[in-house]
């Protein structure tokens, strides 16, 4: 079973859903999966009700809305991962609420899903390409247009990137529960300390972070504490979709 996991939070991220309504490629992609989990973390009941009226939620099949209140982000994550495990999920696409699709090609999407369905791996990053992460990395999979390269967290670290971050990926759920995340991570009360801990952990414990020759998804920080480049990201989204006034 292959699923997507997305988490949003608070009551002030509705602008993202205006763009998600227009991201028809993402909707098409998720409709190819067995299940889609969308988590509202510390959001009011009225906000959740209004957001779920958006066409984005109505157009995606096998969507399960999950809600948590008065718990940390890390506790919200572990509860959902355990839920996915109980539901029989094997591979999970991790796509935060500010992630949008960049590939408008059914064949490329199908090739990615074919790889996930028919191969065993720990983690595949979906935001970076091999020529940036490690041009010398060996090809471990090839199918028409899609290539998968044998890269690790050290390759990201060597490029001056975080050894691990919350960018878009697809990973084996057993790997997430038994290797990547741990009790120390889940004990963190806020996302910033949790991410810093995980980055430092992976700096010293190399993990598989495969990469492709295609950027499938990208984060656009148009709202929240990391929105320093929001004007540029908004311009990019407006070029991708019908412009939205902020």
The pLDDT tens digits for 57-69 are 999 999 999 999 9
pTM of the complete model beyond 0.85: yes
What digits encode the pLDDT tens for the residues 110-131?
999 999 999 999 999 999 999 9
**Phi/psi at 241 (5° precision):** -125, 175
CA distances from 163 to 50, 82, 151, 157, 241 (A): 37, 25, 12, 5, 32
- pLDDT tens readout for residues 130-152: 999 999 999 999 999 999 999 99
Specify the CATH number of the domain 2-220. Answer: 3.90.550.10
Partners of 129 in beta bridges: 212
Task: Round to whole Å and give the CA distance between 243 and 246.
Answer: 9
The structure tokens listed for 170 are 């697809």
């Amino acid at each position: 079973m292959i699923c997507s996991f997305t988490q949003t939070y608070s009551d002030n991220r509705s602008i993202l859903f205006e763009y998600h309504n227009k991201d028809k490629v993402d909707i098409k992609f998720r409709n190819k999966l067995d299940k889609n989990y969308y988590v509202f973390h510390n959001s009011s009941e009225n906000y959740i009700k209004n957001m779920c009226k958006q066409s984005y939620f109505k157009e995606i099949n096998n969507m399960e809305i999950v809600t948590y209140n008065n718990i940390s982000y890390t506790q919200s994550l572990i509860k959902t991962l355990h839920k996915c495990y109980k539901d029989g999920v094997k591979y999970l696409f991790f796509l935060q609420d500010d992630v949008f699709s960049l590939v408008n090609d059914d064949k490329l999407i199908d090739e990615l899903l074919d790889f996930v369905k028919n191969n065993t791996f720990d983690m595949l990053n979906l935001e970076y390409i091999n020529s940036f992460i490690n041009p010398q990395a060996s090809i471990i999979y090839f199918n028409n247009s899609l290539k998968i390269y044998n890269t690790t967290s050290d390759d990201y670290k060597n490029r001056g990137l975080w050894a691990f971050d919350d960018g878009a990926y697809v990973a084996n759920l057993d790997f997430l529960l038994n290797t990547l995340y741990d009790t120390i991570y889940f004990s963190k009360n806020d996302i910033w300390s949790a991410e810093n801990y995980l980055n430092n952990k992976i700096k010293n414990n190399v993990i598989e972070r495969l990469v492709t020759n295609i950027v499938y998804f990208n984060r656009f920080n148009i709202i929240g504490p990391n929105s320093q480049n929001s004007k540029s990201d908004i311009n990019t989204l407006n070029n991708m979709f019908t412009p939205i006034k902020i």
